[in-house]
A and B are shown apart, each in its own frame.
Chain A
Amino acid sequence: MSELQQERFNDGSIVNEKELSAPNEPHLACVLLLDTSGSMYGAPIESLNNAVNQFKEQVCKDPISRKRIDIAIIEFNSNVKVVQEFTPISLMQPVELKANGGTSMGAGIIAAIEKVQERNQVYAKMGTPCYKPWIFMITDGEPTDDISSARARIAERESIGKFGKLKFWAVGVPGYNEETLKSLSKRCIALDGADFTNIFNWLSESMTIISVSQVTDNPQLGKLPEDARFIPQELC
């Protein structure tokens, strides 16, 4: 702990680098909603753990972003568990997820939506400006529970008001069901393999782009990495 950098905080005290979240600055809440079902066992879950842990380091390189981004982690397998409550990204603890059980995707999505909704209400109550929250779901399989309620909740949150109140991303790892993902979100990404490094690098860049923009802007995100592609939605 002795090697911690100290920087002047705006209350004049010399504080630990850990105190990096700034109430006056707009905040971006992002839930990492992660499939830790049995099929993710082995290399996929290892890659996921590494990618999530590196994601923090990447985002924290930007001095503005690291004060503005709050991350929560929810895993779903046979059950749904909040691995980490909303925490400033600089204070994210390393994850060591284990793969086991079924795929309660519907319950996981509902839990994530409730988390971000509650989060934005807290920001509003505290007078902290905020960006539209993100849910970034990664899955490699079919849901083993009913996802119809989850589907309806995503649609509702994304269409409230003129611009919606949520950005839901569904990322499929080989083994995923394309129709299921497309039914959930217009933002579907397919990965070529179970290496999450590049997609999380893209996520960290995207978070940075958003968090340094004005709250009312709609900034352009970067290109997807080469091992990922958008899943096209059919025109109605």
Chain B
Amino acid sequence: MQEFNMFSYAFSLQGKSHKAKNVCCQDSNQIIKVENLYVAAVADGVGSAANSKEGSAIAVNVATDYFSKNYDKNSNIKLLIKQSFAEALNRIFEDAKNNNLPIESYDTTLTMAVYDGQKIVFGHSGDGAIIGLTNSGDFIEITSVQKGLERETVVPLRAGSDVWQIDTCDKNLAAILLLTDGMLDIICQPRLKLDKTGAGVYVPLASYFLDLKDVSKNQTAADVTKNIEEFVTADKDYNEDAFYARLSAIYKQHLSEEDTNQLIEEIKKSNVPVDSMQNVTDDKTVVALINTNVVIENKSLGFYKDPDWRAIYNAWYRELYPHLCQNKEESSDEKLVRVSEDKDVKEEIVSKEQELESEKNDNFNNEGYLLFEK
């Protein structure tokens, strides 16, 4: 087994919508060490379920505890995770019965990961997620969101073992991040689907949470944890300079100072990382396990760049409101290409940018972003 130093942090924070309604945070989380493994779990009590806080707490505590008590080096970890989920569900049933409450009132999601510093085995039910940072520096969404028809409902733990996703990831992972859906929606923003060149993970935010090359060098673990917690708390007085200072330190591990400064300035213009976090109204849970011994490969400049939000917005807008756009023949399949060091790709990008600029001038007047039909 590879030696590793594990850096971890975990927060479950009450969301703004719950603060306004005086409802407690319905998320729960847990991290434990079991011999040479780290076991992390997050759960999100379903909003409409009256006892979902109890449900989510039982889920993470019982699942990890069962795993801990029943693991040995010969264990079939996938089977043990499934049994841990089943035990968590049994305890929820028991609690509901003892209190004479309907089981639906305890509904919760559950996502659990067993991590050895490189490989992960996981169990998943609901709309949370596990994001991984591979040794080669890529961010990947490891789990699949389980939501009901047209994403109107969440599939809870109670849906049963036929629905639970119990699996492994074949990639070597330098770090993993477990999230409930409020956080997932900003790290894997749905509109990123319109950027066909990206992997669907918002790199500036994912880097901030998972890429901690600077931990041992420049900051203590406590400093980093505090920094991240303040960002996630997203208090209205939050100083966004703190976010950009850390992101800059992370990017400088991969890029030149000049390139980093330019990228950070561009990200500041959109301010999507900070605005996204400020706009989350749901409860927020993040749990990170980071193997600080892994040297993550550097990626090209384009990888760290902010997406072309304007182009993404345009593509989205034209698709949703075609009658409001003067130039109706634009295709929503227009290719969005990231800046790349490759010369041919650069030329294509320049050509595409000129085309988009030209479209912009056709469509936009001096008074607005898009021209609308009167």
Using a CB–CB cutoff of 8 Å, the interface residues on chain A facing chain B are: 1, 4, 8-13, 15-16, 18-19, 21, 23-25, 70, 85-88, 91, 120, 122-132, 160-163, 165, 212-218
Contacts and interface: CB of A to CB of B under 8 A. Distances in A.
26 contacts: A10-B270, A10-B309, A12-B269, A12-B309, A15-B368, A21-B317, A23-B312, A24-B186, A24-B190, A70-B320, A87-B323, A124-B151, A126-B320, A127-B190, A128-B190, A128-B316, A129-B185, A129-B190, A132-B152, A160-B149, A163-B148, A165-B152, A212-B281, A214-B282, A216-B48, A216-B127
A194 B367 CA distance: 40
The 10 closest A-B pairs by CB, nearest first: A127-B190, A12-B269, A16-B368, A11-B309, A127-B193, A23-B191, A161-B149, A19-B369, A23-B316, A15-B369
A95 B154 CA distance: 38
Contacts of B368: 4, 15-16, 18-19
B148 A126 contact: no
Contacts of B276: 10, 24
B319 interface: yes
A214 B276 CA distance: 16
B355 interface: no
B271 A12 contact: yes
B294 interface: no
B369 A18 contact: yes
B237 interface: no
B205 to A, nearest CB: 13
Contacts of A123: 320
B194 interface: yes
Contact of A217 (B48, B191, B275): B48
Interface in B318-374: 319-321, 323-324, 367-370, 372
Given A4-B367, A214-B281, 16 more contacts: A1-B367, A10-B275, A15-B368, A18-B368, A19-B370, A23-B313, A86-B321, A87-B321, A120-B150, A128-B316, A128-B320, A130-B152, A161-B149, A162-B153, A213-B47, A214-B47
B300 interface: no
B153 A216 contact: yes
Nearest to A82: B323
Given A87-B324, A126-B319, A23 B367 contact: no
B17 to A, nearest CB: 7
A125 B189 CA distance: 14
A158 to B, nearest CB: 13
Nearest to A128: B190
Given A24-B190, A127-B193, A86 B149 contact: no
Interface of B: 17, 46-48, 127, 147-154, 185-186, 189-194, 269-272, 275-276, 279, 281-282, 309-310, 312-313, 316-317, 319-321, 323-324, 367-370, 372
Nearest to B316: A23
B172 to A, nearest CB: 29
Nearest to B373: A93
Contacts of B367: 1, 4, 16
Given A4-B367, A214-B17, A21 B153 contact: no
Contacts of B153: 161-163, 216
Contacts of A212: 17, 281
A43 B115 CA distance: 70
Contacts of A120: 150
B151 A129 contact: yes
A71 B189 CA distance: 24
B316 A91 contact: no
Q: Which of B193, B270, B320, B367 has the most CB of A within 10 A?
A: B320
A16 B323 CA distance: 19
Contact of A11 (B279, B313, B319, B321): B313
B270 A163 contact: no
A130 B151 contact: yes
Contacts of B370: 18-19
A162 B48 CA distance: 15
B312 to A, nearest CB: 7
Nearest to A119: B320
Contacts of B190: 23-24, 126-129
